[in-house]
Structure formats: C-alpha cells, structure tokens
Amino acid sequence: MDTLEGKRILVTGLATPNSIAFAVATRAQKSGAQVVLAAFPRDLEGARATAQQLPTPVEVHPVDATNEDDLDRLCSLVEESLGGLDGALHAIAFASQKALARLVGAPFEAVSLAFHTSTYSYAALGGVLARLAPPHGAALVGLDFDGSRAWPMYNWMGVCKAGLEAVNKYLARELAPRRIRANLVAAGPLRTRAALAIPDFDRVLRAWEAQAPLPWDPGDPTPVADAACFLLSDAARAITGEVLHVDGGYHAMAAPVSEPGAHQRT
C-alpha cells in the first residue's frame, strides 16, 4: 500500500546520494508523495545533482534553517506551488570540530551555532509546518542519534541531540491542537557525509558491530527512511512525542552480544 499517496512532503537537508534525506525522498516518492526539497545554500549544486537521481527529479530550494527570511521564503514558495504541507523531514545538523573535539573549553560561538543549526531549527521547521498544515493535521519527523547517553567524540553535538529530544516532546505538546505530530527517528551510525566528519567514527561502528543484536549496515539508510516515512504517514496518526530507534537494537542492550565480526561470520 502506498502509505503517502497524495501527501505533500518537505525534505530538508538534501546533500548527497548517501544521505538519509535522499533515502527518505526516494521512499516518499515511491509511496506516492509529492516531494519538495530544500538544501543548505552551500550544498545546493551537489544537492541539485543528487535530486536528479530521484525516481522523479524535482527542484531543490536553497534554505538556511537558521535564517528566518529563508524560512519565510520557503513558506511562500510551498504555499504557492503545493497549497500546503502534510509533512516535513528535519535532516539538518552541524557542529564544527571545535564543538566536537571537547566539551569543556569549546568556544561558545561554536556551541551556539551547533545548537541553532541542529536543535533550534527543528522547532523553527515545526513553525513552518504549522503555517502550512491542512486542518486535518500533519507530521514532523526529525533525525536523532540517541541523546540519552554520552558518546565518544560527540561532545556538544551530543548535547544538541539531547536538546532535540526535549524539543520534540515540547513540540508534540504545542502542535497537538493543530493535529500536528512530532517524532524523531534515532538512527544507528550511517556513513553519511556528516557522520564521517566525526573524529574516529569507526570506533562507533565497531561498538555497533559488537552490541547490536541485529546486523547493522552503516551503508544502508533505507531502514531509517522507511521508519521516517511510516511516521509521516497516517499509519502513525496516534503517535507523537516519540523517539523511534532504528539501530539494530543497540539502544536496548546493556552489554555486547557478540564479538566484532560475528554478524559477518554467520
């Protein structure tokens, strides 16, 4: 069944073909959605080339989610072209190496930029969706990386993800009168451009190999995309304020379940 048939879905943060945003846009189109794309202006050229690889190529609009004027222009564009939105994917995050390298002593300017881009912008996108949602409601979905624990090499981005989970709960409460749902997908580690900027990212992959009870493929974002599209669909109409883990079960395990390489040997 095409669970997004007739839905108008905004996908932000498009960058490269291995991005979660691209996987969600692909899955959404295959499920019958009309997709509109947004990318950070610096990524626009590559994002437009990436968009040509979708089942139905579409235009990519330059949007800096930390810029209110850009968000206003996006609202006007979507309203004129689609008449509104039934859902939006927040696939926006950034932290400089100064914010990733350490917690104590990180410059406030780097921390502020990471929080504005990765956390506050989720609420800002919720505001965009509230302006464009039909009376019967809509769905906001964000991308998370388990903010309940401290991760090596993540530092202030980890704090931003913890903040994202808090914002998600408050958005679920605040947007509910408009029948707008807010949910997050906490993905396992994927070899996206953003993840590969994290120092010693392979250390996280080795932890997943040992502790996730299900095999985890860091090169395959489609399980995450399928979960995001589920949350964007009417099948998730009674779900809000949730963090859906799509991580091979890693988050539920208290200790490693196998030696590294065990999944590959079976």
Helix (H) or strand (E) holding 245: strand 242-246
Residue 2: per-residue pLDDT: 56
Whole-number pLDDT of residue 261: 57
Looking at residue 202, its pLDDT comes to: 84
User: Is residue 237 assigned to a domain?
Assistant: yes
Number of structural domains (the chain) is 1
CATH number at residue 106: 3.40.50.720
Domain that holds residue 229: 8-265
125 lies in some domain: yes
The fraction of the chain above a pLDDT of 90, given in percent, is: 87
Report how far Cα 195 is from the mean position of its chain's Cα atoms.
13
Q: Give the catalytic positions in this structure.
A: 154, 161
Q: How far apart are CA 47 and CA 160, in angstroms?
A: 25
The answer to whether residue 1 sits within a structural domain is no
Query: What number is the average pLDDT over the span 68-76?
Result: 97
Question: What pLDDT score does 258 carry?
Answer: 78
Residue 60 has a pLDDT of 97
b/e map 117-134, b = 16+ CB within 10 Å: bbbbbbbbbbebbbbbbe
Residue 93 included in any domain: yes
- 3 inside domain: no
Q: Is 2 inside any structural domain?
A: no
